[in-house]
Structure 1
């Protein structure tokens, strides 16, 4: 096995964070809205749908993780031999 379970978990966490920042801006277009007059932030969406975005982030992160771990296990991404020496 080229990598251990802790490394696979760390790769998943990195994939999850990358997917989160890819998913967060989806559906937050505010250009056609009038400027807010109630003191709210101009770029803040009315309904952020965070639960839906976290679920989407989880499965997108899992797909990215499967692609990366699959590339490692098939040898497309060579891993260095640590301790051989």
Structure 2
């Protein structure tokens, strides 16, 4: 297993979720409640991201290297884009 990062959203942050830190490196850089862009600075095969908001209710995601995407339990996906080392993902 590789490093694990977590994103925890809070209504107490400036501009909603913007600037939320990811344990182990990274941050949430999109403030839209229906679309999050997560910048993962750690490199590895497996990531777990925990989102706490009205839509996702602490659902966990795991990075699947062979599919090059992160799949939420509810079927929401974070797609790898533009980086072979998978350091940036977009959550829809």
Structure 1 length normalisation: TM-score?
Answer: 0.18
Q: Which has the higher contact order (CA 8 A, sep 6+)?
A: 1
User: Which protein has the bigger strand share?
Assistant: 2
User: Which protein has the bigger helix share?
Assistant: 1
